[in-house]
Each structure stands twice: as C-alpha cells, then as structure tokens.
Amino acid sequence: MANKQNMTHEQQQYQQLQQKHEKKRPVLKNCIKAFFIGGLICTVGQAISYFYIYFFNFTEQSVGNPTVATMVFLSMLLTGFGVYDRLGQFAGAGSAVPVTGFGNAVISAAIEHRTEGFVLGVGGNMFKLAGSVLLFGVFAAFVVALIKTLLVIWGVL
C-alpha cells in the first residue's frame, strides 16, 4: 500500500490534509548546525593528529590510525555518559558523519543489548546499525580499487 500509485483517492486526499499539519524539518537550520558541530569535531581530530605528530613518532601518513582510535574512544565516553545522543539531536549529520558518529552507532547498540548477554546481546547486535556501513563501505572500496587496477593495466592511468 506504500506505493503512491496504489493509493486510493481517499488516502491521497488525507495525506495532503495531513501534510499541512506536519511540522517540517528545519533543513537550512539543521545544515548550519551540522556544519559547525561537524567542523568542530573535525578540528578536535586535527588537533589530536598534530599532537601525535608533534609529541610522538608519527607522520602525516601514519597518524590516521591513532587519531581515529582516540576519536572513537572519546565518542565511547560521550555515548556512555549519555551526552552523544543529545549532541546528535542538536547537530544531526554534524555528529553522525564523522568517525565519532560511527563509534556512537556501534557503542550505543552494544550498551543497549548488554541485557541479553555478551554473546547473543553485545556480540550479535553491536553492528546492527553500523554493519551496513561496513558492508557497503568495504564493497564500494573493492569496486573502486578494481576499476583503478583495470585502468592501470590498460594503461589509461
């Protein structure tokens, strides 16, 4: 019934009426908030990168791993203390797109299903939200790498 073409005249009329009362997402406001909070999170990440390069033996190429680990660790703390979901309601994509948002998706699911035990609960549900990001992310990377390899073999690149 979800298909627009299959809807009866009455259903279509109702949906028009209902839409008048539906409060729309404030898209522009949400974008601005997402831009600044997302930017802030990335600035923190950049500062952590410089910290590792300056004080430890990391280069610009190798600093990614410790930076991501630190950001996910901070995200874990904020999720556990119940701050990240509030930040998410305010910032939307700004806190969902950076790696901290990925961390939050994994950790919140792990906390949520702790009551069903470590194996069936935490283990089985940890990647409930993030699993499709991993699957399609890895697959997309594979396809891109394949295309690049073929182009190199054919001498295009």
Partner 1 sequence: MLKGQQSWVFANRPMIVSTGVTGGPFEANGNLANDFDLLYEDLWLEQDSYEKAQRVLLEDAIDITLKKANMQKEQIDFLFTGDLINQITPSSFAARTAQIPYFGLFGACSTSMEGLALASFVVNYHGAKNVLTGASSHNAATEKQFRYPTEYGGQKPPTAQWTVTGAGVALVRENQAGQRLPVITSATIGKVVDMGLTDPFNMGGAMAPAAADTIKAHFRDLALDPSYYDLIVTGDLGRVGHDTASELLKKSGITMQHGQFQDCGLLIYKDDQPVQAGASGAGCSATVLYGHLLNQMKQGHYKRILLVATGALLSPLSFQQKESIPCIAHAVAIEMND
Residue from 40, 74, 93, 99 in contact with partner 1 (CB under 8 A): 93
Confirm or reject binding of residue 111 to partner 1 (CB under 8 A). Answer: yes
Select from 9-17, 42-50, 58-66, 137-145 the region that touches partner 1 (CB under 8 A).
9-17
157, 151 Cβ separation under 8 angstroms:
yes
Confirm or reject binding of residue 49 to partner 1 (CB under 8 A). Answer: no
Select from 12-20, 45-53, 137-145, 146-154 the region that touches partner 1 (CB under 8 A).
12-20
Confirm or reject binding of residue 9 to partner 1 (CB under 8 A). Answer: no
Confirm or reject binding of residue 45 to partner 1 (CB under 8 A). Answer: no
* Interface of this chain with partner 1, residues 52 to 91, rule: CB under 8 A: 79-80, 82, 84-89, 91
DSSP-assigned states of every residue in the chain: --SGGG--HHHHHHHHHHHHHSPPP-HHHHHHHHHHHHHHHHHHHHHHHHHHHHHSS--TTTSHHHHHHHHHHHHHHHHHTT-HHHHHHHHTHHHHSSHHHHHHHHHHHHHHGGGG-IIIIIIHHTTTTTHHHHHHHHHHHHHHHHHHHHHHHTT--
Binding site for partner 1 (CB under 8 A): 1-2, 7-8, 10-12, 14-15, 17-18, 20-26, 30, 79-80, 82, 84-89, 91-93, 95-96, 101, 104-105, 107-109, 111-113, 115, 129
